[in-house]
Amino acid sequence: MGLFSLFRKKQEVKERPLYYDIVCPYCFSKFHPQEVVFRAAHHKENDEDYALGEDQLLNAYREKFNLDSIDEIEAVIDPVTIPDEHKIYVDNVLAGINDHYGIVTKKRLCPKCHNDLPISAGKVPSNIISIVGASQVGKSVYMTSLIHTLQNTTADNFDAACMPLNADISRKFRQNYEEPLFERNDLLESTQKEVLQEPFIFQFIFKDETKPPLMLVFFDAAGEGMVDQEYLDLYAAHIKNSTGILFMVDPLQIKTIREKIRVNLGDEPGEWVSQYDEPRDVVLSMYQNFIGFEEGSKTDIPTAVVLTKSDMLHAIKEEDGEYIKANSNLFHNYVHKKHLNLTEFENINGEIRRFIEKVDRPFKGALDVHFNNIAFFAVSALGSNPVNQKLKGLVDPIRVDEPFIWLLYKLDYIEGREE
């Protein structure tokens, strides 16, 4: 290796910042690690600054998601009231304070919603992966199938563990999403914006300790009826502050494909969604409302365009298919291990990109105009088309973790290799 290449190699090494801005995984606001507040580790009845009481910000958040309100909780301490010598730093991040009674608290809270922050907040990047798409494209089912797969196979394949942040999240995910789908073969109810589900927070922790853990926040938003301003604000912050976007498109949303599938399915159509938004309009409104702060600017957020319900494409495959070839890779599951197989990825990316270009040019155009960093995927969260809200067999996901693994690659957590 010559001197020059040595020098170049060195320059390429990215320096690790001392700390990272925190994105609260509960309310998605973004702030400097210095702006956190703390929950006192004790209480004093005769001191109003330290007495038990209601935490209005916390309860407002909990009310939004139909969680019980908390009547009495320890006080919130703002670190500006604490002398510098009583502040505790870990890895350059304000991590604790020694309060007026000499009692240490390390319970950091989000300044905007007063929920507990994860221990790693500010020390590692906050990664939020958002799932967007029109009503009924399959967001909730995909999220469930993805998390299930991440926990059961993907994590292992990348020498990592995928775990819910706490027992509450674990229980809710199992009860409301995983068990109905994977154990009872029932489909999920359409997500109602009136009964907001608080975000599901998972951690993807690599066994190699030099790799920072990855925080995964999934917010199962309703695809329809986004009119409520508070809900819109929350959703906007979620998307704007996310590190990766999974943009879901249903083949049935695309007019030319919809008609073809309808004809080919004949008298056994299974589930059939009656009304859809045009994919292009979903991109436009997402961009205008949530991403584009400046007219004409493109977003750099890596965005996986994910064609859902790929099992439906069997109905339009053909030997020398104009749209989808009968032997297409998209019908077969592929397991990426240790790294992203770039050959496999480019194959799918190219095929779906060409497919979208052919069947919905306005949509492809809108994507090109607004996104710098996109790739195309096809997944089936269920593996087959359900009939009467029931699956015929077991859930058998196809390629559900591939878009996620591509995001890991884009965010420099894993390598890609030609094979």
Ligand X SMILES: Nc1nc2c(ncn2[C@@H]2O[C@H](COP(=O)(O)OP(=O)(O)OP(=O)(O)O)[C@@H](O)[C@H]2O)c(=O)[nH]1
Q: Say how far apart CA 134 and CA 287 lie, in whole Å.
A: 13
In the three-class reduction of DSSP (H, G, I as helix; E, B as strand; rest coil), residue 198 is classed as coil
Q: CA 334 to CA 364: how far, in whole Å? A: 26
Please identify, among the stretches 108-116, 138-146, 159-167, 324-332, the one whose residues bind ligand X according to the rule CB under 6 A. 138-146
For 38, phi and psi rounded to 5 degrees?
Answer: -125, 150
| One residue of 120, 145, 149, 191 binding Mg ion per CB under 5 A | 191
**Amino acid identity of 116?**
D
Kindly tell me which of 224 and 351 has the beta carbon lying closer to Mg ion. Answer: 224
Which amino acid type is present at position 105?
Answer: T
Instruction: Write down how long the chain is.
Output: 419
Site string for Mg ion, 295-314 (x = CB under 5 A): --------------------
Cα atoms in the 13 Å half-sphere on the side-chain side of 411: 27
Question: Within 308-337, which residues bind ligand X (CB under 6 A)?
Answer: 308-309, 311-312
- The strand pairing partners of 36, in sequence order, are none
In the beta sheet, which residues pair with residue 378? 307
Binding residue (CB under 5 A) for Mg ion from 130, 140, 144, 145 = 140
Kindly state whether residue 271 participates in binding ligand X, applying the rule CB under 6 A.
yes
Go through 286-325 and write b for each residue having 16 or more CB atoms within 10 A of its CB, e for each that does not.
Answer: bbeebbbeeeeeebebbbbbbbbbbbbbbbbbeeeeebbe
Contact partner at residue 382 from Mg ion, Zn ion, ligand X, none, CB < 5 to 8 Å by partner kind = ligand X
Q: Which of 110, 141, 249, 330 binds ligand X (CB under 6 A)?
A: 141
CA dist 25 and 361 (Å) reads 36
Stretch that binds ligand X, among 119-127, 187-195, 318-326, 408-416 (CB under 6 A): 187-195
Stretch that binds Zn ion, among 23-31, 126-134, 161-169, 184-192 (CB under 5 A): 23-31
116 sits near ligand X (criterion: CB under 6 A): no
Could you give the count of Cα atoms lying within 13 Å of 11 in the half-sphere of its Cβ?
6
Shortest reach from residue 249's CB to Mg ion, in Å? 15
- Over its C-alpha atoms, the chain yields an Rg (Å, rounded) of 23
24 sits near Zn ion (criterion: CB under 5 A): yes
Q: Does 215 bind Zn ion (CB under 5 A)?
A: no
**Partner that binds at residue 386, options Mg ion, ligand X, Zn ion, none, CB closer than 5 to 8 Å by kind:** ligand X
Task: Please say which residue, 94 or 132, places its beta carbon nearer to ligand X.
Answer: 132
Nearer to Mg ion, 303 or 308 (CB): 308
- Smallest gap from Cβ 310 to Zn ion, in A, equals 36
| Dihedral angle of Cα 9, 12, 18, 20, to the nearest 10 degrees | -150
Residues numbered 312 to 351 that lie near Zn ion (CB under 5 A) are: none
Q: Which residues bind Zn ion (CB under 5 A)?
A: 24, 26-27, 110, 112-113
Q: Which residues bind Mg ion (CB under 5 A)?
A: 139-140, 191
